[in-house]
Amino acid sequence: MNINFKSKKALVRVDFNVPLNDDFSVGDDTRMKGALPTINHILSEGGAVILMSHLGRPLKKLKEDGSVDRQRFTLHHIVSHLSSLLGIPVKFSDQTVGPKASELAAGLQPGEVLVLENTRFQKEEKKGDQAFARQLADLADVYVNDAFGTAHRAHASTTTVAQFFNTADRCFGFLIEKELKNADRILNNPTRPMTAIIGGAKVSDKILLLDKLLDAVDNMLIGGGMAYTFIKAQGGQIGKSLVEEDKLDLALQLLAKAKKKNITILLPEDSVIADAFSESANHKIAPSASIPGEWMGLDIGPKARKAFSEVILQSETILWNGPMGVFEMEAFANGTKTIAQAVAESTSDGTFSLIGGGDSVAAINQLGLTEEVSYVSTGGGAMLELLEGKTLPGIKAIQEG
């Protein structure tokens, strides 16, 4: 953060899209805590902070009469929690922009914090509307984007607004800086050998990622539901396992690309198979390429766990995206657990490990291993796009405008 915030009003885009309890209290404040270093830094330099964020999808979940459910989606729900995290009172504007918001922003003193109403109450937000962004920009002297989770969206508060500030008056917050630095360690000159562990449900969600990573990695471990499309493509019998018939050719192409580039791709040699997609299903171990007709692979088996772990322990850089099985069900969580433990063990030997993408993040958290890996990304979709080699609009807007 290369701005001197003394006596400045900083418009800060944060990701306070937190889960709420039934009584609208904050259910999980991880995202709020992620923004604290940036907020505290600005305050400690003698600046004032105007926070903006979205919360939920108010325009998708309208009331029966077609109006916005302001009571449910108001950002006011997070204000008292934020106040206790910061240890100071926090002001709230029930307008995102408008005369009241302008008045509150104008009266804000150094060391004070103001939260603006949910940016997504305005349809202009998602459209990246210029006039709305201009109104937001007029509230402050400088702009800080610290919402990594929405950096892949070209919205008014994440992208358009940046153009109304000079290059010297806009910057990333600490959270985005950290995310970019860690992604960079994977994308540019990683310490080798580098291994990508890719799992989750579908190949189709991760085509670009798989393809791009085949230009970067030494090893690729493929688990989860998506592995069975690869196994079937190679002639395996996968029973009722998840498969995307229209991606069989693509799977073969990816395998051919890997071979040409001398990249080791490991598919699970064995699987935990079940006779139903259920926690209480009968289950047993079988070779992944010989799954009986009515059975389905729901986790990687013990041989696969061992083979994957050996590669993980020999790696110097690891990227993990997607669980190895249906980890939400205890009976099919062991593959994901073993891999998480192997990643943690490798990290303790000095390996750089980045966990990026929704469900592998949930798995690492669930296992209490968050502190045992090098970095857990806060932005599932944004990190995925970054690793796919895409330019994120929110990042570009700060860097290039």
Give me the active site residues, please.
31, 202, 358, 381
Nearer to ligand AMP, 141 or 205 (CB): 205
Residue 198 engages ligand AMP in binding (rule: CB under 6 A): no
Closest CA to 374 of 319, 299, 309: 319
Rounded Cα distance, 121 and 140, in Å:
20
Nearer to ligand AMP, 93 or 360 (CB): 360
State the number of binding residues for ligand AMP (CB under 6 A).
17
Shortest CB 173 distance to ligand AMP, Å = 27
Residue number closest to ligand AMP, CB atom: 200
Nearer to ligand AMP, 323 or 379 (CB): 323
Q: What character string, x for contact with ligand AMP (CB under 6 A) and - otherwise, covers 303-322?
A: -------------------x
Among 323, 356, 379, 394, binds ligand AMP (CB under 6 A): 323
Residue 105 engages ligand AMP in binding (rule: CB under 6 A): no
Residue 297 engages ligand AMP in binding (rule: CB under 6 A): yes
Among 141, 169, 177, 205, binds ligand AMP (CB under 6 A): 205
Among 104, 231, 298, 344, binds ligand AMP (CB under 6 A): 298
Shortest CB 119 distance to ligand AMP, Å = 26
Q: Which stretch binds ligand AMP (CB under 6 A): 50-58, 104-112, 253-261, 323-331?
A: 323-331
Q: Could you say which residues in the range 213-252 bind ligand AMP, by CB under 6 A?
A: 224-225, 242
Residue 200 engages ligand AMP in binding (rule: CB under 6 A): yes
Nearer to ligand AMP, 203 or 395 (CB): 203
Nearer to ligand AMP, 19 or 46 (CB): 19
Shortest CB 286 distance to ligand AMP, Å = 13
Q: Could you say which residues in the range 338-367 bind ligand AMP, by CB under 6 A?
A: 357-359
Shortest CB 32 distance to ligand AMP, Å = 24
Residue 287 engages ligand AMP in binding (rule: CB under 6 A): no
Q: What is the β-pairing status of strands 91-93 and 296-300?
A: unpaired
Binding interface with ligand AMP (CB under 6 A): 200-202, 205, 224-225, 242, 297-298, 322-323, 325-326, 328, 357-359
